Structure 1
């Protein structure tokens, strides 16, 4: 049960309720909605079995951040150390004893009916005459619910117990409205999941195309077997390509500024966190003040490559091409790489440097410390790279840019649907928006 301090904290700074709303311990709610504790609509159930060594069991687990219940694995009874296991049923509200504080709870889907979990999970049966299970699943995603699971200050506790769960508060609209709210949110959620699958498929397509293009060149996949190849120290490449140390096709490598960045200043300074997935991310910048001569030495030019020479082993070697017109400088953990335009197209080299196989080779060059790894400019210049004719490099860039544009479009759709879901979750779960007139959202998955 929530104490008065926790309820007071959750209620702090709530806006005054409009005329058709009433103030509650969580937030203003429509006058025709109830505010209930879960103990009024849930019952704690225990259904244990003794596993048999010769049988196979389906285990499930909760995902954190309220991402639901998923299959964990199939396991033989003989491989289970703890022989007493709980059975869960479709539609149950399942709560992880420890992970609940990080969103480890959700509704058991029909596909996991009869799965087993350990005694460190709590199973709650829902009173379906008052509460629709999918509505509870979405209510559990709201900040007001999660604040109750992870209260701050002196009321904090190490794990969640059934008595805590029974004391959590949720809004309770009429059952028909619960179903309608859940239907709208499920529609947007499924559209987002479909968009995420497109993002994942596009990411896989890019990796497959990187492997194809850097092995066979810019030829159709069904013509790859017609390309004469030669074996090199970096693997097979077309016979007419050169394979050279990177330093042979560069005009310059230069370490960045050893100057502490500030929140404001004359010039933005790119740091290692600004290199993301082969692209520049300028949403988190620091700034420096420089005299004209120093700025001239460290000003980035369009087409420069930035190489992350010092970072964790996982992130060292990140590379991105600078494609801004505004005046930028760069910090000391980055190396500016200036290509010879007569030998290399900058974007081609950027794509090659970010290929998974190249990244794996770079990790082998890194000097490893306790928490940081380093690849100095000398080692970088010694990295062997494939050098096709410039026209083929440009065609490779065109193909990969097309895939990147599709990827960016899919990511934007994912982000838009996430923002829509979050907005609807808040507004529908507080009654600020009622479900009447929102049924057109059911077609959003095909938009």
Structure 2
């Protein structure tokens, strides 16, 4: 049987993917994460002391989370490495793991429990880790691609250090390709431009890059190097790393929003295109753009919300892909419009005061008096009809008497249409001041 495997070019009875064969043997070989694994970095210092603490490894796919967990356990001889996945494990599986860890502890051996996709465990399951972390039965290393602040219990986070892994940069990806070529004893059949394109396809995911490289290394050694176009035909291009229901979704919409707010139409168009390319619902984007028109432009350009609603209607009418042009045009309009959040801030301030003051009555002079009793109570007494006042403004007060000094919620900047509103407010204030 072994002869058959040797004839097939296999070193053992089961073939191992290139990414697995290139898995680092020591922590210093982990690429692209020097901020964590260097001697003066958190994991480097942890190994230097010989004492491991529970950690949560948060980062994109293919950045080395599983590898780091394995290396941590092997660096400390008295630790048993146990790996489970939150996707396939339940309460019964966790109970078995904890019971086995207690038995090892009784024999003087610790357990490093690596939980992949730890965010998939529900809150109750996550709480099950707490007593075993506290008494030292396990050292927990959790791996997640989602923001731990949203997905993990505060109690778990308080007992573990969150370490952020970065997507692999161009230099780290090149290091992986060089290692693959050295292991296989041949150079990837790619032109320089195609090699760069291959790294771009990986989108920071080292495991995916090595899977692509493994596919290319099956091509005949004497074949002509592939250019970028031939590479695209040979391997399937990866869809962008983006989950519409998870953290990447909110990161990109935040980038779009802040680019619009920062008056950068080029960056705003880029993030819009990123989300549309990844399959985002255009109507979700249209709703968010309407919000930007209100929150960040407001009365500095009252046409902004009109344009936003028009773009939504155009998309509804045309659909994709033609309707997406309306969203692109809207993004340019919003990004280049004068910005103001004065009305937004004013509304929040008024809401805060309304909650603080409770059920104060309006001043009686602005209350209607449809009955004789209400007139006797002073309802409507002293009210001045503004249309009859000079300039159309009486200058009366409309706040509850108990509030005292008149609040000033709306304070527009001297930009866009709000320049004109500033003039009007100054005129109104002058009339009120003269009256007082």
Q: Same fold (TM over 0.5)?
A: no
Query: What TM-score do the two structures reach when normalised by structure 1?
Result: 0.18
Higher relative contact order (CA 8 A, sep 6+): 1
Structure with the higher fraction of residues in helix conformation: 2
Superposition TM-score, scaled by structure 2 size: 0.19
